[in-house]
Amino acid sequence: MKSQLIKWSSLLCLTTSSWVLSAQTDNLTMTSTNRVNEVLEQVLTAYGGRDRMTNLNQVKIDFETTTFAVNQSKNPGPPWDENQQKGSTAIDLSQQQFATQNQGITQNFHNGTIINGDQSHQLNWRAQTATPIAEPNFLNTAGPFIRVTPALLVKQLMERSFASHYLGQVDLNGRPHDVLSLVMEVGPAISLYFDQETHLLHQSERFFVGFGLVGYRFHDYQTIDGIPFNRKFELFINEDKNMVRHNVNTTVNQPIDAQLQRPEGLRIVDPLQPDPLQRQTIADGVYLIGGNGTYAMFVDMGDHFIAVGGTAGLADRMRLLREVDADKPIRFGVMTHHHSDHILGAQVYAESGITVISAKAHEAVIQNAISVADAQLETVDKKRVFKGPKRELQVIDVGPTDHSSHLLVAYLPDAGLLFEADHFGLRSPNNIQPANQATQDFAAALKRLGIKAQKIVSAHSPRVSTLEELKQAVQMGQALTQQD
Ligand SMILES: [Zn+2]
C-alpha cells in the first residue's frame, strides 16, 4: 500500500517535498484534504478573513470588454475580428437575485437578463422588449459571473471546501501556485491557482470533453471594503485569447434593487416556447428538421436529396429524414460558412459518403473539420446550380456581410424559398427586431443578386419567416441607425 501511494505521488508530479513525505505516512485523500484546509486558511486571510467572506453578499461590477472572435470572424483565420462592449452585472447571493446587461460599442446590440423570482426577464433595448423567463435559474445564469469574480469563487471554495482536492503546485509566471479543485453546481470542476505568497487567485480553468480547456487569468488586484478584487481578466479557450475585460467600477454590499427593476418602456412579449426536435414539410419535397436552436434543410431533387446546413445534431436530423424516405441518397451537403458552430456537420456528411459543398474561401477550414480519408469536397465560387429531375437548387455566395466575408445560401426558385444561417431567424412574428448590420447586408445582397425568395428559412429558427418580415426588420434597423 505504501509503495502504491508513493507511485501515485510521483505520477501526480508533486513538487512540494513535505507533501510527498506526508503522502507516505498518511493516505492521499487525507493529505489532500489537509492541504486544502491549509491553503484555504491562507486564502481566506488574503481575502479579508472568514467573516468578511461570509458577509459578502452583493457585488456590482461595471466593465468594458474586448472580444476576439476566434473561429467566428468574417475571415477564416487570424487576425480575429475584435469587438468592444460595455456593461454591468450585479448579484445578491442571499436573495438569489442577479442582473446583467451588455451593450455593443462596435456592434449594435443591447441585451440583458434579470433573475428575480417571478419578475425574471430577458431584456432587449434595441427591440424595446422584455421576455418573461418561465423557469428562472439563478445558479445557471449567475455562474458565468461568479466564475470571473475571484472573491465569489473564494466564497464558494469556503462553503464547499469539503468537496475540494489539492491538485498540486505549479509555477505561473515564475511564481509558485497552489492548485485546488472547486466543484461547480453545473459542469466540470474548476481548478483554482492561488499564488503561494500573496494567496490571491491568478488563474482558473475547466476542461470540457469535446470542446477543450476554458481558462481565466486575473490581474491588477485592488482592495475594496477589505476584499481584493481584480481590475482585469482574460478568457482563453484552448490557449486562444477570446476576451479581455476591465472592471471599471466595483461596489460591494450595496443593495442591487435598481438593477433588478425592469426598465421602463420595454414591451412585454410572449415567452419563447420549447423547441423539441421535429420535422416540418415547408414546401413540396422540402423538409426543415431540427430543434433546440439548430436546423437543417433537406430538398428532394427527384432521385436524390440535397442537405443544407452544418450545425449540431445533423445525424439526428438525417435520421428523421429517413422516416420520409428510407432509401433516396443524400448526394450533397451544403456548408453555409466557416464558423465553428456551422462546420460540425461536415464530418457527418463526409462519413455518410455525401459530397460536402463549401464556399471556395472556406475550403481549408471545412477540410480541416473532416477526418475521413476519401472525403469529397467541392467548392462554390459565387454561384452553382444543382439540377435534379424534379427541380433546381441554386447555391449562391451572398457575401460579404458584416457577419462573414462569404456566405452560402440555398435558393429554390420553384418554392420561392431560401435557406440562410446567422442573418435572419425570427422565432415569433410578434417580435420582429431591428436588423443589425449583418442582416441589413444580407437583405441588400438578396436585392442586388435578384434573388426572389418570399420565404426565408434559418439555421437557427424553427419558423419560416417572410421577405416582408425581413424588410420590416431592416426598416427598423435603419431607423435606429439614423437616430444614433
Ligand atoms: Zn456565423
Please spell the DSSP secondary structure of 41-98, one letter per residue. HHHHHHTT-HHHHHH--EEEEEEEEEEE-TT-SSSSSSSPPEEEEEEEEEEETTTTEE
Q: Which domain holds residue 179?
A: 45-268
Residue 474 has pLDDT above 50, yes or no: yes
Distance (angstroms) between ligand 1 centre and the Cα of 19 equals: 49
Could you tell me the three cell numbers for 162?
469539503
Distance (angstroms) between ligand 1 centre and the Cα of 255 equals: 39
Q: Taken in order 163, 168, 169, 173, is the CA torsion positive or negative?
A: negative
Distance (angstroms) between ligand 1 centre and the Cα of 414 equals: 27
**159: which DSSP letter?**
H
Q: What is the pLDDT of residues 364-385, one digit of tens each?
A: 999 999 999 999 999 999 999 9
Find the radius of gyration of the CA atoms of the chain: 26
Please give the average per-residue pLDDT across 24-40, as a whole number. 89
Coil, helix or strand for 262?
coil
Residue 32 has pLDDT above 50, yes or no: yes
- Residue 2 covered by a domain: no
What proportion of the chain, given as a percentage, has pLDDT over 70? Answer: 94
Please give the average per-residue pLDDT across 102-109, as a whole number. 93
Residue 3 has pLDDT above 70, yes or no: no
Please give the average per-residue pLDDT across 217-246, as a whole number. 96
Could you tell me the three cell numbers for 58?
452583493
* Position 13 confidence tier, pLDDT thresholds 50, 70, 90: very low
Compute the distance between CA of residue 438 and CA of residue 328 in angstroms, rounded to an integer.
36
Total-model pTM: 0.81
Q: What is the pLDDT of residues 343-357, one digit of tens each?
A: 999 999 999 999 999
What's the total number of domains in the chain? 2
- Residue 13 covered by a domain: no
* Position 25 confidence tier, pLDDT thresholds 50, 70, 90: low
Please give the average per-residue pLDDT across 280-287, as a whole number. 98
Compute the distance between CA of residue 236 and CA of residue 181 in angstroms, rounded to an integer.
19
* Position 274 confidence tier, pLDDT thresholds 50, 70, 90: confident
- Residue 25 covered by a domain: no
**β-strand 305-308 against 330-334: which pairing, if any?**
parallel
Distance (angstroms) between ligand 1 centre and the Cα of 422 equals: 5
Compute the distance between CA of residue 195 and CA of residue 189 in angstroms, rounded to an integer.
20
Residue 11 has pLDDT above 80, yes or no: no
Check if the beta carbon of residue 79 is closer than 8 Å to that of residue 88.
no
Distance (angstroms) between ligand 1 centre and the Cα of 240 equals: 18
Please give the average per-residue pLDDT across 98-111, as a whole number. 95
Q: What is the DSSP string of 383-405?
A: EEEEE-SS-EEEEEE----SS-S
Distance (angstroms) between ligand 1 centre and the Cα of 270 equals: 27
| Domain boundary residue, one of 236, 268, 300 | 268
Distance (angstroms) between ligand 1 centre and the Cα of 212 equals: 20
- Cα dist from 220 to 231, 249, 311, 364, whole Å: 5, 13, 39, 40
> What's the pLDDT score for residue 2?
37
Backbone angles phi, psi at 273, to 5 degrees: -85, 155
* Position 218 confidence tier, pLDDT thresholds 50, 70, 90: very high
Q: Is 50 in the same domain as 179?
A: yes
Distance (angstroms) between ligand 1 centre and the Cα of 332 equals: 21
- From first CA to last CA, the distance across the chain in angstroms is 72
Q: Is 250 in the same domain as 339?
A: no
Residue 6 has pLDDT above 90, yes or no: no
- Residue 230 covered by a domain: yes
Residue 5 has pLDDT above 80, yes or no: no
Q: Is 256 in the same domain as 383?
A: no
* Position 275 confidence tier, pLDDT thresholds 50, 70, 90: confident
Please give the average per-residue pLDDT across 474-481, as a whole number. 91
Compute the distance between CA of residue 39 and CA of residue 45 in angstroms, rounded to an integer.
10
> What's the pLDDT score for residue 9?
41
Distance (angstroms) between ligand 1 centre and the Cα of 343 equals: 10
> How crowded is residue 224: how many other Cβ atoms within 10 Å of its Cβ?
16
Beta-carbon contacts of 66 under 8 Å, excluding residues fewer than 6 positions away, are: 82, 83, 84, 243, 244, 245
Residue 179 has pLDDT above 70, yes or no: yes
Compute the distance between CA of residue 297 and CA of residue 421 in angstroms, rounded to an integer.
11
Q: Is 109 in the same domain as 193?
A: yes
* Position 272 confidence tier, pLDDT thresholds 50, 70, 90: confident
CATH of the domain at 109: 2.50.20.10
Distance (angstroms) between ligand 1 centre and the Cα of 435 equals: 16
Please give the average per-residue pLDDT across 188-211, as a whole number. 95
Q: What is the pLDDT of residues 395-420, one digit of tens each?
A: 999 999 999 999 999 999 999 999 99
Q: Is 239 in the same domain as 353?
A: no
Q: What is the pLDDT of residues 44-90, one digit of tens each?
A: 999 999 999 999 999 999 999 999 999 899 999 899 999 999 999 99
> What's the pLDDT score for residue 431?
80
Distance (angstroms) between ligand 1 centre and the Cα of 421 equals: 7
Residue 324 has pLDDT above 70, yes or no: yes
Distance (angstroms) between ligand 1 centre and the Cα of 122 equals: 22
Q: Is 241 in the same domain as 122?
A: yes
CATH of the domain at 468: 3.60.15.10
Q: Is 260 in the same domain as 320?
A: no
Please give the average per-residue pLDDT across 166-179, as a whole number. 97
Q: Is 218 in the same domain as 72?
A: yes
> What's the pLDDT score for residue 484?
59
Please give the average per-residue pLDDT across 456-483, as a whole number. 93
Q: Is 293 in the same domain as 414?
A: yes
Q: Is 459 in the same domain as 403?
A: yes
> What's the pLDDT score for residue 419?
98
Distance (angstroms) between ligand 1 centre and the Cα of 475 equals: 23
Distance (angstroms) between ligand 1 centre and the Cα of 303 equals: 31
Q: Is 330 in the same domain as 465?
A: yes
The residue to which cell 477570446 is assigned: 242
Strand (E) positions, 257-365? 267-268, 278-283, 286-291, 294-300, 305-308, 330-334, 355-359
Please give the average per-residue pLDDT across 253-261, as a whole number. 97
Distance (angstroms) between ligand 1 centre and the Cα of 138 equals: 29
Residue 428 has pLDDT above 90, yes or no: no
> What's the pLDDT score for residue 472?
96
- Cα dist from 267 to 11, 128, 168, 260, whole Å: 59, 6, 53, 16
Q: Is 57 in the same domain as 114?
A: yes
Compute the distance between CA of residue 150 and CA of residue 161 in angstroms, rounded to an integer.
15
